[in-house]
Amino acid sequence: QVELVESGGGKVQPGESLRLTCVATGRTISVAAMRWFRQAPGKERELVASSSWEDDTTYYADSVKGRFTIARDNDQNVVYLQMNGLKPEDTAVYHCAFDLYGRGGGSGHYDYWGQGTQVTVSS
C-alpha cells in the first residue's frame, strides 16, 4: 500500500509561482513513474506531468510546457511540481499519482492516487 500526501497549494495571482510537494510512504518511488494530474470543476482530469523511473525522462502536457517542472528525490521519496507563470486556467485540484514500474511519457495509468491540493489562480 502506498500513501501519497500533497501539499503546497494555495491562492495566487496570475504570473506567480507555487511548488507542490508529494510525499510517498509505503514503497519507494525509485521504481515508479510519478505523475501529477489536475482536475478542475466541470473538466476532465488532465495529466500535467510525468517523471520516469527508468531513464529519468519527463513528460509535460502542452498546456504547461515551459512553465511547470516535475522533479523527484528518490532518497526522500518526494516528488515536486514547480509551477511558474501561473494562469487562471491552471486553477484545479492537483493530485500526485504512483505507477509502479510504469511507463514514462503521456501514460495516464496509476496504481495509487493522493487526495490532492487546491491551486487557485485569480486576481
From CA 69, how far away is CA 33, in angstroms rounded? 15
User: Average per-residue pLDDT in the chain?
Assistant: 96
Put residue 77 in one of left, alpha, beta given phi > 0 → left and psi -120 to 50 → alpha. left
Of 16-20, 58-62, 102-106, 113-117, minimum mean pLDDT range: 102-106
From CA 67, how far away is CA 85, in angstroms rounded? 6
Inter-residue contact 4 to 113 (CB < 8 Å): yes
List, in order, residues 6 or more apart from 40 with CB less than 8 Å away: 91, 92, 93
Which triple of cell numbers denotes residue 6? 500533497
Q: For the CA atoms of the chain, what is the radius of gyration?
A: 13
pLDDT at 103: 84
pLDDT digits (tens, 9 = 90+) for 46-105: 999 999 998 889 999 999 999 999 999 999 999 999 999 999 999 999 999 999 999 888
List, in order, residues 6 or more apart from 8 with CB less than 8 Å away: 18, 19, 20, 21, 117
The answer, yes or no, to whether residue 37 has pLDDT greater than 90, is yes
